[in-house]
Structure 1
Amino acid sequence: MRGSTARSRRGIARAAVATLTAALVVAGTAGCDEKGSTGAGGSKSTPKPAPTPAWNTRPASIASLGDSITRGFNACSPLSDCPEASWATGTKVDSLAGRLLPSPAAHSWNYAKTGARMSDLPGQLTKALPHRPELVTVLMGANDACRADVADMTSPAQYRAEFEVAMKELRRTLPKTQVYVASVPDLKRLWAEGRADPLGKQVWKLARICPSMLKESDAVDTASEARRGQVEQRVAAYNAVLKDVCAKDRLCRYDGAVNDFRFTEAELSQWDWFHPSKEGQRALAAMAYRKVTERSPAA
């Protein structure tokens, strides 16, 4: 009799545990339905990230920032800016603005300045922001390396800080504006190409164009080669900065093709054999157009 009673109690206990367990499971499931799904261990699932904004391959307006290259210096006449020949906004060449915009003169602005360095980029951007451009182009860094001496070159850390300041201000004011960042040209390549022209070398000397790279242009001694190597390395460091900072922005495209481009005599100004000629400006425009209109650019 007692054994039968004990077995009965154990059966009742097991049934109670099973019922309680089932109730807890149902309650837990109901709680998930009301408060959001949970993963293993009861933690809430991570919300899906916001979708990456689609890159617009046909922006309706452009603001261009940079230095003498973007101002078209020496492209039309000696020692003069010629923004009409600028790769970015020019009307005398097949510029980026001319390729993209139905009315380039009304919807593109060139705030580049001859001699500008990366420290000038935030100020140029401040002038461009009121236009609310859909695309901003940046080509800046040659003057940071082209100093009187290699010791005067902008450090990569300072170059990065100044570029980041400009990008943060752009994103604070215009979060949906796209950015095309051109790499700094290969200054050593420009030296190698231009030094073959005696007149060009005289212009380099008299106008003191990029002395850190171009002074004593015929010298090939160890010290001169080391100096040019330092400039080349600094340009590479600048381009690494541009690529890295741009990669962190979903609406920024960095273009290493500018540094890779092999400028020839026809693409260099006949007045200084260093700045792009109209042909060189057209080449820069073509590179920019390819990058801006790519659906899915290569990394």
Structure 2
Amino acid sequence: MRKIGRPFRHRLTRSALRSATPVVTAAALLFSLAGCSDGGNSAAARPGPEVTAPSVKPAPVWRTDPGSIAALGDSITVGFDACTVLSDCPEVSWSTGTSPKVDSLARRLLEHPARHSWNYARTGALMSDLPDQVDAAKARRPELVTVLIGANDACRSDVRAMTSAAAYRADFARAMKKLRRALPRTQVYVAAVPDLLRLWSEGRKNPLGKQVWQLGICGSMLHDPDNLTEPAVSRREKVRDRVVAYNEALKDVCAEDALCRFDRSVFDYRFTERQLSSWDWFHPGTRGQEELAALAFRTITGRAPEE
């Protein structure tokens, strides 16, 4: 009789094994083999290695209050012909200018615009020059880079001399890749190339402007501005189509970068001759520079554009 409180333990002795029926012995052996084997469902009963979910990098956040700006681009960004004839006037640049007449992007965003903004744009620059401008700017480590370039690629002596859309895209992609390698956290604002056909339609209203254009400004678009024959109209449409292709390239390449914003409104903006330089009726005057600054400010400080 088993005492209360003591655990009952069944021990299978040698004599018991010898006297056990074959069925019982086989069952015990089978149970023992199943417990030691790696086959069957035994693996499911054992806890497997702990699976750790891969860490997810947070998406870069666009800041609406960058602390420094570097401007890249062409004559528009250095204020060419905005103050005096045939001269750069960077103090009225839409991006980094210090003049209160324009209220530039730097003046709107930075506490000390003169100390924390730099202009590396160059009159006459093409998209193929942008990678070199990136090299010049990267030492400053700006928090925001502005880009407005492409009018010179379309404004050639003849439509056959325009930069191809493929070359334009490749040069912009190369510049962005170089910028991102050097400045992984820098934000990039990319302005669309302005509508050169609208420039022709507005500027030709001024007789003095048309005389200035005869000196050879943007011959692909502005040559013989009063000529409305089919070949002349077709020539201007080819220039506009090329600008549209440039802007598609800017949009596509920019969309691949989480810290890049493309601003089509610069192409869509319906400027008048009042925003053009009174020296050449081609470049933006101070009013035009002010409008460019306002468009850029809205894009940089606004919500992320809808996909």
What TM-score, normalized by structure 1, do the two folds share? Answer: 0.88
Partner of 1:24: 43
SS at structure 1 position matched to 2:214: helix
Residues 91-126 of structure 1, C-alpha deviations (whole Å, 9 max, x = no match)? 121000000000000000011111110011111111
Residues 172-212 of structure 1, C-alpha deviations (whole Å, 9 max, x = no match)? 11111110000000000010001111110001112x11110
C-alpha contact (below 8 Å) 1:74/1:272 kept by paired residues: yes
Partner of 1:64: 71
Partner of 1:53: 60
Q: Percent identity?
A: 57
1:23 Cα deviation from its structure 2 partner: 2.4
Q: Which has the larger radius of gyration?
A: 2
SS at structure 1 position matched to 2:289: helix
**Which residue of 168, 193, 196 maps to 1:159?**
168
User: Using the alignment, how far apart are the partners of 2:305 and 2:107 within structure 1?
Assistant: 22
User: Using the alignment, how far apart are the partners of 2:28 and 2:211 within structure 1?
Assistant: 106
Partner of 1:118: 127
SS at structure 1 position matched to 2:201: helix
User: Using the alignment, how far apart are the partners of 2:165 and 2:30 within structure 1?
Assistant: 74
User: Using the alignment, how far apart are the partners of 2:142 and 2:291 within structure 1?
Assistant: 23
Partner of 2:274: 266
**Which residue of 224, 247, 255 maps to 1:216?**
224
Gaps of 5+ in 1: 38-44
Partner of 2:195: 186
Structure number with the higher helix fraction is 1
C-alpha contact (below 8 Å) 1:111/1:128 kept by paired residues: yes
- Residue identity opposite 1:192 in structure 2: S
What TM-score, normalized by structure 2, do the two folds share? Answer: 0.86
SS at structure 2 position matched to 1:254: strand
Question: What RMSD in Å do the two structures reach over aligned CA positions?
Answer: 2.1
Q: Does 1:80 align with 2:99?
A: no
Runs of 4+ in structure 1 deviating by more than 4 angstroms, as ranges, are: 4-22
**Which residue of 236, 251, 265 maps to 1:228?**
236
Gaps of 5+ in 2: 1-20
1:30 Cα deviation from its structure 2 partner: 2.2
Partner of 2:206: 197
User: Using the alignment, how far apart are the partners of 1:224 and 1:11 within structure 2?
Assistant: 100
SS at structure 1 position matched to 2:136: helix
**Which residue of 299, 302, 305 maps to 1:291?**
299
**Which residue of 245, 249, 253 maps to 1:237?**
245
Alignment CA distance shift 1:86-1:7 (3 Å) = same
SS at structure 2 position matched to 1:30: coil
Residues 30-61 of structure 1, C-alpha deviations (whole Å, 9 max, x = no match)? 22x1xx25xxxxxxx7x354211111111100
SS at structure 1 position matched to 2:114: helix
User: Using the alignment, how far apart are the partners of 2:45 and 2:194 within structure 1?
Assistant: 67
**Which residue of 88, 113, 129 maps to 2:138?**
129
User: Using the alignment, how far apart are the partners of 2:31 and 2:234 within structure 1?
Assistant: 86
Number of matched pairs: 283
Partner of 1:40: none
User: Using the alignment, how far apart are the partners of 1:7 and 1:234 within structure 2?
Assistant: 90
